[in-house]
Structure 1
Amino acid sequence: MPGFLLAILLIELTPGPNMGYLAMVAARWGRRAGLTTVAGVTCGLAFYMLLAVAGLGQAILRAPLIYAALRWAGVVYLLWLATDTWRGGGETSPSHALASPDPSRLFARGLVANLLNPKAAVFYIALLPGFTNPARGDPALQALTLGMIHIAVSVTVHGAIVLAAGSARPALAGWTTGSRRRWLDRGFAVALAAIALWLGWETSRSP
């Protein structure tokens, strides 16, 4: 268990696309929006964890085309979000303020962004078997327990990122209308595009 906890802490504290996306959402729309997105990301992690526990996650490792499809779909999805945000930056009316989108939309975006991140699947497939021992009981139950511990650590780290990034939102209060709003939105669009490229680079190696 100490070795497993150390491994997942190192992985979760290593900067990655999820961190960047959650920080951007929290800075732009506040902590509540960020935590809603964390919920979506967490459900995506839980999906891949259950897939690995059931022994179905190996399909990604055995089929490079599936891995590549997930990888490029994730990159394209984040680039689409960047384009959508950039277009929103052209709207400068007072009604187009820093109001948070519908929570279901934030949740869905976090969920889809994580489902299209193949590293989430590879993480469980590669890590969990190394910390299970058939002599100590059902390996599937052990993997499920370890997976749930990882998700708890992930929620803690992601929540801390959101709370920290959300503190920047008051500083953006003067950027809610006019040309400042346009440049703010376009700045976030560029950040999303950078996260998309980050995901593409981070998943460039075969699983």
Structure 2
Amino acid sequence: MDLVGFALAVLLIELTPGPNMAWLAGLAATEGRRAGMSAVAGVALGLLVNGVLAALGLAALLKAVPQLWSGLQWAGAVMMVFLAIEAWRGSPRKEPRLAQDGLHRRAFLTGALINLLNPKAYIFFLVVAPQFLGGEVLSLANAVTLAVVSTAIATVIHIALVLAGARAYAWLSNPRRTVWARRVFAVIMLAVALSFLLADIG
């Protein structure tokens, strides 16, 4: 197994704008660093589960049954549209502690779901990952190893994105700026939803 080559491929893919990058940066900018870090943890969980599901044959099943693939695409797109609507509507910044805790739990769960419903994540394990196995079958052990490597690299990048996004949080304390930031964030989420629908498993 070529882990070095795989790690470089993951790095290049993670540096390419995608749903995680757009959502995490926007979330940290509009909701703060804690919410962003909660989301990073959820994203990491989703990425790890993707690897296990791929090894259990889900990626191949999605390719073999077009209806399941379409269902995954639409589920992911609907979720991104929901996030876009939520971002557009916004929420008060100064909320009670319990409300803030709920925000962080929701950020964690959303991060996990975005990756579980992201068609491109399954394309990755079906098309890209096997190229670095040296002819081996994508077994559970191999999938977990690749998932851990890719998740570790992705998490480092995602933490950096959240920290960068969070720097804008104080600047966005101005209500007018917050409104515009949320609307830009919402448009980005709609673009991600469209990209889910256009994903092709080949």
Fold match by TM threshold 0.5: yes
User: Judging changes above 3 Å, is the alpha-carbon distance between structure 1 residues 134 and 185 closer, same or farther for their aligned structure 2 residues?
Assistant: closer
Partner of 1:97: 93
Partner of 1:159: 159
Select the structure of larger CA radius of gyration. Answer: 1
The residue identity in structure 2 corresponding to 1:29 is E
| Among 30, 33, 37, the residue aligned to 1:31 | 33
Partner of 2:169: 169
Structure 2 unaligned spans of 5+: none
Residue 39 (structure 1) shift = 1.2
| C-alpha distance in 2 between matches for 1:138 and 1:8 | 17
Residue 131 (structure 1) shift = 1.7
Structure 1 unaligned spans of 5+: 90-95
What's the Cα RMSD here? 2.5
User: Does the CA-based 8 Å contact 2:36-2:162 persist in structure 1?
Assistant: yes
User: Does the CA-based 8 Å contact 1:132-1:139 persist in structure 2?
Assistant: no
User: Judging changes above 3 Å, is the alpha-carbon distance between structure 1 residues 132 and 28 closer, same or farther for their aligned structure 2 residues?
Assistant: same
Partner of 1:193: 190
SS in 2 for 1:127: helix
Residue 143 (structure 1) shift = 3.2
TM-score, normalised to structure 2's length?
Answer: 0.84
Segments ≥4 residues shifted beyond 6 Å:
none
How many correspondences in the alignment? Answer: 195
After TM superposition, list the pairs within 5 Å mapping 1:54-133 onto structure 2: 54-88=56-90, 96-97=92-93, 99=95, 100=100, 102-133=103-134
| Identity in percent | 40
| C-alpha distance in 2 between matches for 1:184 and 1:120 | 27
| C-alpha distance in 1 between matches for 2:138 and 2:127 | 18
| C-alpha distance in 1 between matches for 2:80 and 2:105 | 18
Partner of 1:206: 201
